[in-house]
Chain A
Amino acid sequence: MVKGKVSLNENGIEDTLNINDDLETIKSKRRKAALTWYMFLLPSFIGILLFMVYPIVESFRLSFFRSNGTIETFTGLSNFQMVLTSKTFWNTVWNTFFIGFFQIFLTIPLGFIFASLINSIKHGQNFFKVVYFLPNVTSIVAAAMIFQFVLHPEMGVVNYALDAIGLPTSTWFSDPSTSKWGVILLAVWHWIGFVIIICLANLQAISPEMYEAAKIDGASGLQQWLFITIPNMSGTFAFLLITGWIGSLQRFNEVYVLGGPNGSPARSIQTMGAFIYERGFTGFEFGIASAATYIMFIIILIFTFINLKVSKMQL
């Protein structure tokens, strides 16, 4: 239609009109293109809405109700009060932090030392990488199953070895006073491969020129490690610290296999995750479990924030 009008005009006007015409089509093409881009995002954002946003909002709402999934009554803040005054809950917080603390502060230094050793040898680097990472690819559920026997107080191989070399043995999972150490040992065994792989990748990214320069200045191997390697790894340590804590605070799988939903013996290895599972899916107290998840969520956020601050200071 536009074209028909244009044909009556002189050449100059025809051109400008044609440009306008082009602009219009470009604009609509852009709009169409934008729409196509949203199509690319559609599956992921349906997922975000349905499986992230909705559950987070809904569990916030649920935390103000008494609910078993079918009957709901509004109870205000009483769920939060109930959880925050529950000795059982604070015991799970203590257990979670205790296990997490020792897992992280044993595994990161140990893993870093082994990564440095692997990085410094000439032959067999790949062999050791494969061996040390193997525990991490096995599922933690199967690993917990094996460790029940490995750490068995009477017939386990660890106590036998400790006894053979004259060290004191432990009651491990059979006594509340030692069971957490069993979980820590399992956690260190399972996580160390991951720490080593991450450390190795970052060790190899440190520029060799720095070492060359240090060598010319007469720095020994240990000095190079202390003053070049470790400062260059602070970002990696921060990453491991943060992901380590996030993972630790959500610990559930292995303690469920070792001690069931109530973390036997005597709730000594019940974690926050296990508390939520126990209240939510063995007791069907959805309101209380939701309040507990929010408290846990807030603990994780605050703690991650603190970790970020602390590790920034080191950088």
Chain B
Amino acid sequence: MDQRMSERISNVVKFIVLLVFGILLMMPFIWMVSVGFDRTANITMPFPPRLIPETISNFNYGIVFENGRLIQSYINSGIVTTCSVFLQVSASLLAGYAFSKGTFKYKRLLFVLVLCTLMIPMEPRLIPLYTLFNSVGLLNSFWPLILPTVINGMLIFLCKQFFDQLPGTLREAAQIDGAGEFRIFFTVYLPLAGPIAATMVILSFIWSWNDFMWPLVVLNNQDLHTVPLYLASFSLENGTSLGGLTMALATVSILPIVVLYLFLQRYIIQSIALSGVKGE
């Protein structure tokens, strides 16, 4: 009885600690939304900070949307991310499958090469990639953002791990029926790869949507800016003036990701955990 009581108390205490710290973590978001709706927040921020604005208005949001660059940057990010995800996931599925079920010369060596790409950061590749795309006249287009995503060692690794768990006997049955390797892949294994494909799409989406340094280097044309680039240029231009507008802009830029996250949270969290646990 006594022990159950103390267990109960410790549970409540833990819950309260987690709740308080959770609110602290959410505080920047809460404040962001509040200031975004505050009509008077553009000259100076409301001080002392308040949760409910004095005059609630969608003035800031009106300006953010009227400007048009936000919507354009959304469209741009949408195009780039969709193409990158498709390219990256397809290429990684093919390669991951081959490394798992294939029999060919230099398989180990080639796989080690794939793992080596995990060690290579973006920075040393920045300038040569820039001059490469410059020389073929593709700077200031979406191609430099899409094409290099074709190789992703992490996704190939995760994919190989997944196919390793599927039995090879599935192949043999199809082989006896005389199916070629590509047909076996598309008709037998790909339909079973739903869970890993979903994980790969999620990870690839997050990486591509948040990519910043490389797009910053190749896109000078404002009309092609992706969402993070537009945010950064707005922030660098205005600093800490125009608080209301900045917060409205931040809210609108974060909202779709947050909504997506809330719907898919189980899968997203699983994917992140998988990339971490298997990444060991």
Contacts and interface: CB of A to CB of B under 8 A. Distances in A.
A250 B122 contact: yes
Contacts of A6: none
Nearest to B26: A131
Q: Which of B32, B124, B132 has the most CB of A within 10 A?
A: B124
A117 interface: yes
B28 interface: yes
Contact of A41 (B21, B95, B123, B210): B95
Nearest to A145: B235
Q: How large is the interface on A (under 10, 10 to 19, 20 to 34, 35 or more residues)?
A: 35 or more
Interface stretch (B64-72, B190-198, B265-273): B265-273
Interface of B: 10-11, 14-15, 17-18, 21-22, 25-29, 31-32, 35, 44-49, 87, 90-92, 94-95, 97-99, 102-105, 110, 113-114, 117, 119-132, 134, 147-148, 150-151, 156, 180-182, 185, 206, 209-210, 212-213, 216-217, 227-228, 231-232, 234-236, 239-240, 243, 246-247, 249-250, 253-254, 257-258, 261-262, 265, 268-269, 272-274, 276-277, 279-280
Interface of A: 33-34, 36-41, 43-48, 50-52, 54-56, 58-59, 62, 69, 114, 117-118, 120-124, 128-150, 152, 154-157, 160, 189, 192, 194, 197-198, 200-202, 205, 221, 235-236, 238-239, 243, 246, 250, 252-253, 256-257, 260, 272-273, 276-277, 280-281, 286, 289-290, 293-294, 296-297, 300-301, 304
A48 B95 CA distance: 12
A154 B102 contact: no
Contacts of A147: 28
Contacts of A273: 123, 213
Contacts of B113: 48
Nearest to A122: B11
A55 B261 CA distance: 35
23 contacts: A36-B180, A37-B98, A44-B156, A48-B117, A56-B124, A58-B128, A62-B128, A69-B134, A121-B15, A131-B22, A137-B268, A139-B209, A142-B254, A145-B246, A160-B47, A194-B276, A197-B269, A205-B277, A250-B123, A256-B216, A277-B217, A297-B123, A300-B121
A146 B36 CA distance: 11
Given A59-B128, A69-B134, A146-B28, 18 more contacts: A39-B182, A48-B117, A48-B151, A51-B125, A51-B148, A62-B128, A121-B15, A122-B11, A129-B265, A137-B257, A139-B257, A141-B210, A145-B246, A189-B25, A250-B123, A257-B232, A277-B213, A304-B119
Contacts of B46: 155
Contact of B105 (A34, A154, A192): A34
Contacts of B132: 50, 54-55
B216 to A, nearest CB: 7
B96 to A, nearest CB: 9
Helix, strand, loop or mixed for chain A's interface?
helix
Nearest to B217: A281
A138 B254 contact: yes
Given A59-B124, A121-B18, A130-B262, A202 B151 contact: no
A39 B231 CA distance: 41
Q: Which of B90, B129, B231, B269 has the most CB of A within 10 A?
A: B269
Contact of A118 (B18, B119, B185, B212): B18
A114 B117 contact: no
A201 B280 CA distance: 13
Helix, strand, loop or mixed for chain B's interface?
helix
Given A121-B14, A128-B22, A239 B279 contact: yes
Given A52-B125, A62-B128, A114-B21, A149 B45 contact: yes
Given A139-B210, A239-B279, A281-B217, A59 B127 contact: yes
B73 to A, nearest CB: 12
Nearest to B131: A69
Contacts of A272: 123
Given A52-B120, A120-B14, A44 B25 contact: no
A47 B91 contact: yes
A301 B119 contact: yes
Contact of A130 (B18, B130, B265): B265
B126 A276 contact: yes
Contact of B124 (A121, A253, A294): A294
Contacts of A41: 94-95, 98-99, 110
A297 B122 CA distance: 10
Nearest to A164: B48
A199 to B, nearest CB: 9
Q: Which of A41, A135, A140, A155 has the most CB of B within 10 A?
A: A41
Nearest to B8: A122
B236 A257 contact: yes
Nearest to A272: B123
Contacts of B228: 139, 141-142, 253
A250 B48 CA distance: 37
Given A140-B210, A144-B235, A286 B103 contact: no
Q: Which 9 residue pairs across A and B have the least CB separation, nearest first?
A: A47-B151, A40-B98, A201-B273, A55-B125, A55-B128, A155-B45, A58-B128, A47-B150, A198-B276
B91 to A, nearest CB: 4
A250 B129 contact: no
Contacts of A239: 276, 279-280
